[in-house]
Amino acid sequence: MGKEKYDFLFNHFDLYEKVYIESKDCVEIVKPHNEFKIIVDYIPEDDFSPYLVSWSYQHRHLVDEDDVIEYVNEIINCKVYAIECFKGDTAVFGGEIRIDDFEDFSYETLEKWSGYFGLTKLLDCVDTVKVRFWHGGFDATFAYDKDGKPTVVLQCDECGSKFIKAKSKMMSLCPECAHILFGYENCKHQFKDGKCELCHWDGSRSDYIKGLMDNNT
Ligand SMILES: [Zn+2]
Ligand SMILES: [Zn+2]
């Protein structure tokens, strides 16, 4: 049985190209102008869950065609994010997080996931967390907050400063930019040694925000 076993895929995901790769006997679902792809493999030797769907850092074994369609739809609709924890260049562990659970993307949650390392502090075995989804991705690192607790640090898309995730209402913006652009409550910054001790914003401003502020004064 060749390409026909993948026929069911070709009636779905209209926005994306589906390519049968003969040499590997699998189908790739490809996002244009992007290296991101989803690979669907049928492995008949696996009696129970013959479908293997791989993307980014993740893969799942699935039972039937409906499961494959459902899972691929979740990926391309950004309902699931792939995360992988690294120490240097070495992948340590990974998993999936549903977009609805992203509020819980914290140091504590990650440490819970790393059950295998239960007796080790997460910070001792991980220094970067790569988060990838169909439409993009970002990297997270860690720092200690003002109370000396380890916490997740992200980079602001607007001003480029690092910030403590727990201090911002938005994943992609620091509290300062989220306040100026979207009116979210700002951090009551306390600057020390070039950055806010509470949220780690370093005072950076994008040209766009500088322009907004000039117009308001
Ligand atoms: Zn910012
Ligand atoms: Zn602050």
Q: Are 51 and 64 in contact (CB under 8 A)?
A: yes
Please name which ligand lies nearest the alpha carbon of 177. Answer: 1
Q: Distance between CA atoms of 16 and 14, rounded to whole angstroms?
A: 5
Q: How far is the CA of 143 from the centre of ligand 2 (A)?
A: 14
CA dihedral angle for residue 205, residue 208, residue 211, residue 212, rounded to 10 degrees: -90
- Residues 87 and 71 grouped into a single domain: no
Q: Distance between CA atoms of 117 and 121, rounded to whole angstroms?
A: 7
Q: Are 17 and 29 in contact (CB under 8 A)?
A: yes
Closest by CA position to 129, among listed 156, 96, 157: 96
Convert the pLDDT of each residue in 8-41 to its tens digit. 999 999 889 999 999 999 999 998 777 789 999 9
- What are the φ and ψ backbone dihedral angles of 30, each rounded to 5 degrees? -115, 135
Indicate the pTM of the whole model.
0.84
Highest mean pLDDT of the ranges 32-36, 120-124, 129-133, 161-165:
161-165
Ligand 2 ion local residues (Cβ < 5 A): 187, 189, 196, 198-199, 201
Q: How far is the CA of 198 from the centre of ligand 2 (A)?
A: 5
Q: How far is the CA of 200 from the centre of ligand 2 (A)?
A: 6
Counting every residue, how long is the chain?
Answer: 217
**The pLDDT of residue 119:** 60
Q: Distance between CA atoms of 130 and 155, rounded to whole angstroms?
A: 12
**The pLDDT of residue 122:** 85
Q: How far is the CA of 69 from the centre of ligand 2 (A)?
A: 44
Percent of the chain having pLDDT more than 90?
72
Q: In the listed set 76, 109, 126, which residue is the last one of a domain according to the structure?
A: 76
Domain span holding position 72: 3-76
Convert the pLDDT of each residue in 169-198 to its tens digit. 998 999 999 999 999 999 999 999 999 999
Tokens 């979740």 belong to: 74
Q: Are 38 and 75 in contact (CB under 8 A)?
A: yes
- Residues 49 and 135 grouped into a single domain: no
Q: How far is the CA of 26 from the centre of ligand 1 (A)?
A: 42
- Residues 19 and 42 grouped into a single domain: yes
Convert the pLDDT of each residue in 53-68 to its tens digit. 999 989 999 999 999 9
Q: How far is the CA of 117 from the centre of ligand 2 (A)?
A: 32
Q: In the listed set 76, 110, 137, which residue is the last one of a domain according to the structure?
A: 76
Please name which ligand lies nearest the alpha carbon of 188. Answer: 2
Q: Distance between CA atoms of 155 and 174, rounded to whole angstroms?
A: 7
- Residues 52 and 97 grouped into a single domain: no
Please name which ligand lies nearest the alpha carbon of 178. Answer: 1
Q: Are 60 and 41 in contact (CB under 8 A)?
A: no
* Total domains, the chain: 2
- Residues 30 and 87 grouped into a single domain: no
- What are the φ and ψ backbone dihedral angles of 40, each rounded to 5 degrees? -110, 125
Q: How far is the CA of 47 from the centre of ligand 1 (A)?
A: 51
Q: How far is the CA of 185 from the centre of ligand 2 (A)?
A: 11
Please name which ligand lies nearest the alpha carbon of 161. Answer: 1
Q: In the listed set 53, 76, 99, which residue is the last one of a domain according to the structure?
A: 76
Output the CA–CA distances (angstroms, integers) from residue 42 to 5, 105, 112, in the order listed. Answer: 8, 33, 33
- Residues 27 and 86 grouped into a single domain: no
